[in-house]
């Protein structure tokens, strides 16, 4: 499904004039899944891959949406990464608003899963939307940079709208990142859609 010249309007990426420069590679509809894994399609064909989250809803209240990469086709999700994490929030009752660096949610040379959205609620009006951009995962010269931005209604009693931005790199210059997995820190992914796009 090429977007071609409509890329700028649909993906927020300017300068698209050639048909087929952004292509929908796969779409996964979530239904009580413990994880969502993309184990094929991450190749040298595209220099950027975009994962879009559409109303991903947890079965468990107050959980973090997380991700990790693999260099062995999804047998293990444990690639070393270093990251930074920013949070903005504002409560429905105007009780509080904040912009902060959240050191407790970043990683320093860790193989752990990285949090993308920290405390997503499981009420019907609570879910997470957003995107993650992964650059040149098939490179065997450079580390693999990525960034994400997620928006969600938090599980706090005075519900907050939160936007969290995370960036970092997989610190592996020699191996391909050939699979990516998403999950909540505990409990299943109850519903939602995750799509993977390739950008030439």
Residue 96: what pLDDT? 87
Place of tokens 């927020």: 12
pTM of the model: 0.89
Q: What is the pLDDT along the chain (200 residues), one digit of tens a residue?
A: 445 555 544 554 444 444 578 999 999 999 999 999 999 999 999 999 999 999 999 999 999 999 999 999 999 999 999 999 999 999 988 988 999 999 999 999 999 999 999 999 999 889 999 999 999 999 999 999 999 999 998 877 778 899 999 999 999 999 999 999 999 999 999 999 999 999 98
**CB proximity list for 97: less than 8 A, separation 6 or greater:** 88, 89, 90, 91
Residues 67 and 112: their CA atoms lie apart, in Å, by 9
Residues 63 and 33: their CA atoms lie apart, in Å, by 15
SS (H, E, C) 117-156: EEEECCCCCCCEEEEEEEECCCCCCCCEEEEEEEEEEECC
- Locate the DSSP E strands across the chain: 22-33, 35-38, 48-58, 63-70, 81-91, 97-101, 114-120, 128-135, 144-153, 160-170, 179-184, 189-199
Residue 19: what pLDDT? 56
- Nearest C-alpha neighbor of 114 from the set 85, 73, 86: 85
Choosing among 2.60.120, 3.40.1350, 1.10.3470, 3.40.630, the CATH entry for 25-199 is 2.60.120
DSSP conformational letter for 113:
P
The domain ranges of the chain are 25-199
């Amino acid at each position: 499904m090429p977007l071609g010249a409509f890329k700028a309007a649909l993906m927020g990426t300017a300068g698209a004039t050639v048909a087929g420069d952004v292509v929908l590679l796969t779409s996964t509809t979530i239904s009580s899944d413990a994880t969502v894994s993309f184990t094929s399609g991450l190749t040298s064909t595209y220099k950027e891959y975009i994962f879009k989250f559409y109303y991903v809803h947890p079965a468990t209240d107050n959980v973090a949406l997380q991700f990790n990469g693999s260099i062995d086709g999804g047998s293990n999700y444990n690639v070393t990464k270093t990251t930074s994490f920013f949070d903005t929030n504002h409560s429905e009752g105007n009780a509080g608003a904040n912009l902060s660096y959240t050191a407790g949610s970043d990683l320093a040379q860790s193989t752990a899963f990285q949090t993308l959205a920290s405390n997503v609620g499981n009420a019907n009006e609570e879910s997470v939307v957003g995107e993650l951009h992964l650059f040149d995962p098939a490179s065997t010269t450079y580390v693999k940079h990525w960034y994400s931005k997620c928006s969600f209604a938090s599980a706090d009693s005075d519900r907050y709208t939160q936007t969290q931005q995370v960036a970092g790199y997989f610190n592996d210059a020699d191996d391909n990142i050939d699979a990516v997995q998403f999950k909540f820190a505990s409990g299943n992914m109850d519903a939602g859609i995750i799509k993977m796009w390739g950008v030439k």
